[in-house]
Amino acid sequence: MTASPEHQPVVELRNINKVFDTGIRTQVLFDINLKIYPGEFVAIVGSSGSGKTTLLNIIGLLDTPTDGELLLHGENVADMSEDERALLRRDMLGFIFQFHYLLPEFDVLENALMPCRLKGKTYEDQNRDRMVELLKHVGLSDRIHYRPSQLSGGQQQRVAILRALANDPRLILADEPTGNLDTKSGNTVFSLMRDLNASTGKAFVMVTHDREFAKQADRIIELVDGRVKDEATSEEGSPQT
């Protein structure tokens, strides 16, 4: 029997391994099995070199596993062409990085809409009003036509978060999104992600070194030397059923 959409994983990893071979063979992920469900907020933690970013890059179709299966919304990515993978990445996934990577020559609204622009001007125009409302929601209504250089670091990251939501993806992947911010701005950005997770129903997967933020996720996945050491419901979150 096919799972209903709300119970079908957004992403599923089956026995994922990753080996880098640049003259010296180094395995960085070992038999990773993981499911992320709609509406979940999952934190991936672990020390530097534990494989966190590699795992996130594989989920985000920015890298490929050496072996194992990756399913996005039930579709096996291994069966897809590069063009099909690119379209899936564009339409189903949103990315938030440690550095905002806003384009300096475009204003806030244009930066937030940039993923829509990749789908054509008509699609961009159709989503303009929605993005304006989102910018108001995150307290940037008076900054819509500012350039990135006129914003604080926290404000720039807020724009980057909305950019990740531009194409209405099913899954948001965040790699140390608060790592380049001061404590106050980091708390604001994390609270915003949690708010958008709750209000939009999007699944979020966040790599973080900050255990206090991880405790507020629905689930914590700890990597040690490329292996899942622990997978637990956080004290603040609720278990996935």
Q: What range defines the domain where residue 16 resides?
A: 11-232
Supply the CATH number for residue 67's domain: 3.40.50.300
3 state SS of 2: coil
Q: Number of structural domains, the chain?
A: 1
Kindly state whether residue 179 falls inside one of the protein's structural domains: yes
The phi, psi pair for 52, rounded to 5°, reads: -60, -55
Residue that the structure tokens 């994390």 belong to = 190
Look at 100 and 152; give whichever has higher pLDDT: 152
Query: Which two three-digit tokens encode residue 165?
Result: 């939501």
The mean per-residue pLDDT over the stretch 70-77 comes to: 86
In a domain, 131, yes or no: yes
In a domain, 1, yes or no: no
pLDDT at 99 over 70: yes
Average model confidence (pLDDT) for the chain? 85
Query: By C-alpha distance, which of 142, 162, 233 is closest to 202?
Result: 162
Selection from 35, 5, 41 nearest residue 198 by Cα: 41
Nearest to 172 by CA among 148, 192, 188: 192
Listed range (3-12, 36-45, 76-85, 219-228) with the worst mean pLDDT: 3-12
- 75-76 and 93-96: which strand pairing? unpaired
Residue 3 domain flag: no
Q: Count Cβ atoms below 10 Å from residue 81 Cβ, excluding itself.
A: 8
Q: What is the pLDDT of residues 6-64, one digit of tens each?
A: 578 899 999 999 998 878 888 899 999 999 999 999 999 988 888 888 999 999 998 88
Average pLDDT score over residue span 194-211: 89
Domain contains 16? yes
In a domain, 191, yes or no: yes
Residue 241, domain member (yes or no): no
Q: What is the pLDDT of residue 230?
A: 64
pLDDT at 174 over 50: yes
> Residues 137, 94: contact at Cβ < 8 Å?
no
Residue 139 lies in a domain: yes
Asked if residue 169 has pLDDT above 60, the reply is yes
